[in-house]
Amino acid sequence: MLIRTSADLGAVIRDRRKRLKLDQASLAKRIGVSRQWVIEVEHGHARAELGLVLRALDALDIRLDASTEQTKSRGSEKPAVDINAIVAKAKKSKT
């Protein structure tokens, strides 16, 4: 699943937890956090600590992959040549 927001993450975690037939308390113990933490994260708490979240994913055997392959381009992406640098140089050596 594609992760965009903390809510996505929370959903993934909750689904996986249920699939593994774990209750929040057990999962919390596995991860080493409080039960409330699990609750908040499953609800999409955006300000949770990155490290704890990663531990949670590990405890649930969820793989996280980062890739730069993108389907939707959003304007200028990978300029084969760094136009900016060229322009900058051009500006400097004006005369």
Partner DNA sequence: CACTTATGTAGCCGAACGGCGACATTTTAT
Partner DNA sequence: ATAAAATGTCGCCGTTCGGCTACATAAGTG
Give the footprint of DNA on this chain (CB under 7 A). Answer: 18, 23-25, 32-37, 39-40, 42-43, 45, 47-49, 52, 89, 92
- Dihedral of CA 48/54/58/62: which sign? positive
Q: Which two tokens stand for residue 57?
A: 């994913």
Q: Are 43 and 32 in contact (CB under 8 A)?
A: no
- What residues contact 8, with CB distance under 8 A and at least 6 apart? 1, 2, 44
Instruction: CB nearer to its own copies: give 78 or 95.
Output: 78
Contact positions with its own copies (CB under 8 A) in 2-61: 2-6, 9, 12, 16, 19-21, 45-51, 53-54, 57-58, 60-61
Site residues for its own copies per CB under 8 A? 1-6, 9, 12, 16, 19-21, 45-51, 53-54, 57-58, 60-70, 74, 77-79, 82, 84-85
